[in-house]
Structure 1
Amino acid sequence: MNDKIFNGKEISPVDTLIQAKIEAESWRSANKPEVDEDAIDEITPIPLTPLSLPDAQRFPICQVDASWIENGLVSGLRWSLRKDRSEEIFGLQGCRRSLSALHAELESLLWAMSCARDRHIISVHFQTDCLDLVSMAESPSDWSSFLSELEIFRTLRESFLDFTLSHISRSSNV
């Protein structure tokens, strides 16, 4: 706001949102409790089932989705992560309306990835009912208008030991 008022600088709302996300992530990182070096040996890694199983059975499954209405004021983001048959965690969020439905879908994926990483879940199979989102993850260079968001995606993706993203039918994404 100060740059606009005092320097006449125009900043797009998308750039403002991205900068806010980066600042929030920096704040979270700076305020994480320090790890006690002696306690590291006590941490038990989450066991993974044998590698011969399909990804959907080896790793926690996280389904992501977004709602977007062209004339609406807000977008809705949702993710649901099943670590095993008995444990499911989820997130729901209303936010300022995204530029497009695809932007909202990508925001939902980025948020889910960040939440999984914050919970120290390093192997995840993500599922979406948005084919364009899967295409974007597979060929980011084809989606130059999402350059800033895809940089965040790349950074988050690198924090996972195992990461997959696949398409599922809309009726399966519940």
Structure 2
Amino acid sequence: MEALVWAMQSMLTHNKRQMNFQTDCSELVTMVSRPQDWPAFAILLEEVEKCKRSFQAFSLTHIPRTKNTKADKLARSARDQPYDVYYVNTVPPVTLPVPN
């Protein structure tokens, strides 16, 4: 859920207002579509709803790992690395200011 919120905020920051997010977690799709059934995640689900309102078009779809071999291969290879991967993307990270 936190990763989805981060991804949504990142796309909004880059002014991407029409997005189809995809996940291999079917429960995440269920949580977003029926937030009232998941009160333990209310704070994060409220943030998802807030972000959703900023998109012109938004969807979240379930893609089984067996149907997304490229992402599955990347995830497996990252887990096999002897070190932590902190950032993977084609866009350089934006450093956030540290609050005083």
| Same fold (TM > 0.5) | yes
- Corresponding position of 2:41: 146
For the aligned residue pairs, the C-alpha RMSD in angstroms reads: 1.0
Q: Which of 114, 117, 120 is the matching residue for 2:9?
A: 114
Q: Which of 32, 40, 54 is the matching residue for 1:159?
A: 54
**Map 1:7-156 → 2, pairs under 5 A:** 106-156=1-51
Q: Distance in 2 between matches of 1:127 and 1:108?
A: 12
- Corresponding position of 2:95: none
What is the aligned residue count? 69
Q: Distance in 2 between matches of 1:166 and 1:151?
A: 19
What TM-score, normalized by structure 1, do the two folds share?
Answer: 0.39
Q: CA deviation at 1:146?
A: 0.3
Q: CA deviation at 1:150?
A: 0.7
Q: Distance in 2 between matches of 1:126 and 1:160?
A: 12
What letter matches 2:28 in structure 1?
L
What TM-score, normalized by structure 2, do the two folds share?
Answer: 0.67
What letter matches 1:145 in structure 2?
A
The secondary structure found in structure 2 opposite 1:163 is strand
Structure 2 runs not aligned, ≥5 long:
72-100
Higher relative contact order (CA 8 A, sep 6+): 2
- Corresponding position of 1:169: 64
Question: Highest CA radius of gyration, 1 or 2?
Answer: 1
Q: Distance in 2 between matches of 1:150 and 1:136?
A: 8
Q: Distance in 1 between matches of 2:17 and 2:9?
A: 11
Q: CA deviation at 1:169?
A: 1.2
Name the structure with the higher strand share: 1
Q: Distance in 2 between matches of 1:169 and 1:148?
A: 27
Question: Which whole-Å deviations, capped at 9, do the CAs of 1:92-148 have from their partners, x for residues lacking one?
Answer: xxxxxxxxxxxxxx1111100000000000000000000100000110000000011
